[in-house]
Amino acid sequence: MKLYVTSIFKWIFAIAFVVSITDSVYSQSTEIKFFGHIDVFHEDEVGEDIFNSFSLGEHDFFVTSQITDRISFLSENVIKLTSSGGFAASIERARIKFNYAKKHSVIFGKMHTPVSYWNDTFHHGRLFFPTIDRPIQFSLVIPIHEIGLRLQGQNIGKLNFGYDIMLGNGISSSDLEDNGEAKSLTVAGHIKPRPTMRIGAGLYFDTIEGNVAGSHSGHTSKYHNHNSSYTGDVGFKLYNFSFANFAYKWETLLELTLNYSETDTLGTAQNLTSFAYLGYRLNDSNILYSHWDHADIAFNDLHANPLYLNKVALGIRHEFSYLVNVKLEYENYFYRHVEETMHHSNFNNKYEIKFQIAYGF
């Protein structure tokens, strides 16, 4: 779907005006927090040498400020590993929020695309992750970031309905600019029928101009294996359903994502990814968990390359406090090789044992 924007700025100024006349004097409050993680892993891949390593993870400076009683700011600046082995700083979130009615806000800036539960909740804070890694769908189809304008509603009615409608630059853009006229559209809604539960659905539409994988997706990871030989536009549609219930004893999370990518040469590719997590709290400090991660990227997809992967894992999380936890995880990767594709030769079945310490303060 292509969205052509002609009057965004008129809307922005109108909203800012409404906010300014409803605002009142408020003493500003600012909080700065820091999050990080360190990993250790052992990898044994069929046909490859065994690999052991310590690894320094992302380090995250998180700032929130209540500037007035109607305007707040949030930023997340991450120093993370680059593909060349060094580290680079990245502004992962920088957003200003105007509350124009009690349960309704408009947000402007860079943020995590609110299309799925995980992407809307955990961001870069490994301290909050129930597992060591993100679901594999983040490396394949989820448009992780967006720069744009978002309308948000929260806790409406007895079911605590919430909505997010976002117009953004899309997958092919950079932090600096978009590479074309088309804009992405995210529409998501959820309900919270119980205090610990959230059930949601999200839609995402974009036109990836020139099949460019910009800086706002995980679309340059090793799993995505971005196909740069195709340089036409890609029509990108994504539908997500999520169910999360992080109660005290039992934690459950299900993310189902159906993605269609359409090209003018091989037609429409249908990709299905899913993530299922179940955790059980043994006591106040220890959670035993398992998860299953699945990706099925069709052979005719020209944005991502074909992949069929099942990953199963068993782990335990120990919480020293709400600010420090460690996770130990055993993961098994099962790839199915498809003869029509040449890219699967990059991946072989393997197992990994991972340990992570995640912290924040």
Judged by CB under 8 A, the number of residues near other proteins is: 50
- Phi–psi pair at 138, nearest 5 degrees: -70, -25
Choice from 16, 74, 96, 187 touching other proteins (CB under 8 A): 74
CB of 294 to other proteins, least distance (A): 9
Shortest separation between residue 360's beta carbon and other proteins, angstroms? 7
Interface pattern 178-207 for other proteins (x via CB under 8 A)? --------------x--x-x----------
Per CB under 8 A, which region of 93-101, 139-147, 173-181, 224-232 contacts other proteins?
93-101
State in angstroms the smallest separation of the CB of 170 from other proteins. Answer: 21
Among 59, 123, 219, 350, binds other proteins (CB under 8 A): 123
Centre a 10 Å sphere on the Cβ of residue 286 and count the other Cβ atoms it contains.
Answer: 12
Give every CB contact of residue 134 below 8 A, 6+ residues apart in sequence.
Answer: 118, 122
SS3 211: helix
DSSP string, 143-186: --EEEEEEEEEEEETTTTEEEEEEEE--TT--SS--SSS--EEE
Q: What angle do CA 7, 13, 18 make, to 5 degrees?
A: 130
Token representation of residue 98: 């105007």
Q: Are 114 and 164 in contact (CB under 8 A)?
A: yes
Site string (4-43) toward other proteins, x via CB under 8 A:
------------------x---x----x------------
Is 233 strand, coil or helix? coil
Question: Residue 125, interface with other proteins (CB under 8 A)?
Answer: yes
- Asked whether 178 and 145 are in contact (CB, 8 A), the reply is no
Which residue of 44, 58, 175, 319 would you call a contact of other proteins, by CB under 8 A? 319
Instruction: Name which of 34, 35, 355, 2 is nearest 207 in CA terms.
Output: 2
Q: Does 310 bind other proteins (CB under 8 A)?
A: no
Amino acid at 189: G
Interface residues with other proteins (CB under 8 A) are 22, 26, 31, 62, 64, 66, 69, 72, 74, 93, 95, 97, 99, 102-103, 111, 120-123, 125, 128, 154-155, 160, 192, 195, 197, 241, 243, 245, 247-250, 252, 254, 256, 258, 270, 272, 274, 276, 278, 284, 319, 321-323, 360
